[in-house]
Chain A
């Protein structure tokens, strides 16, 4: 069974440019998460979806970050404009209701 799929795996952009990350969760998982992991830190939740509804986006910096999960399956996380401090790993994860959370390999962003 395919796990959580993320793309791109690596992205280098100049500051002030936009960037988007895509995630395809495990089939049948209704809960999808985006986590941010800075160097030397543990993952921090940015947003959690139950189907297509964002049920927890309190940690998402809404001035420059946005996310969507229009059909309750795939999701996209966007940053516009990117800042130097956004350089990090963006992790997508999914689970069934109350089940084990499975992580993707992450999208590594470098803003120069």
Chain B
């Protein structure tokens, strides 16, 4: 069975501080990993996916198969980064079947 764990329900940082949202997963094969974000009063939307190896809005995430982690990082937090972040996993070649974590609320304080 596949599982995604986000250990922090709430993460509070000051503007300009580094951010790391943790995500660990359990899956027997090689998964596809995603980060989704939900800003206040907006719909859930894709932030980034590991196969793209891209930086979106200054965020990056590296898949660490040894530690089964896919932590989301940003060197300098901005106020507009405050949102709910969900890590999600899909089976290999099964990008359509997502399993989500419980989410981490990021609050960037001035």
Show the binding face of A for B, using Cβ within 8 Å: 3-4, 31, 33, 40-45, 48, 56, 91, 95, 97-106
Contacts and interface: CB of A to CB of B under 8 A. Distances in A.
Interface of B: 4, 9, 42-46, 86, 88, 95-103
Contacts of B102: 40-42
9 contacts: A31-B96, A33-B96, A42-B100, A42-B101, A44-B100, A45-B98, A56-B97, A102-B45, A103-B43
B95 A98 contact: yes
B27 to A, nearest CB: 16
Nearest to A98: B95
Q: At the interface, is chain B mostly helix, strand, loop or mixed?
A: loop
Top 7 closest pairs, chain A to chain B, by CB: A42-B100, A103-B44, A105-B43, A103-B43, A43-B100, A42-B86, A98-B95
Most central of B42, B96, B98 by chain A CB within 10 Å = B96
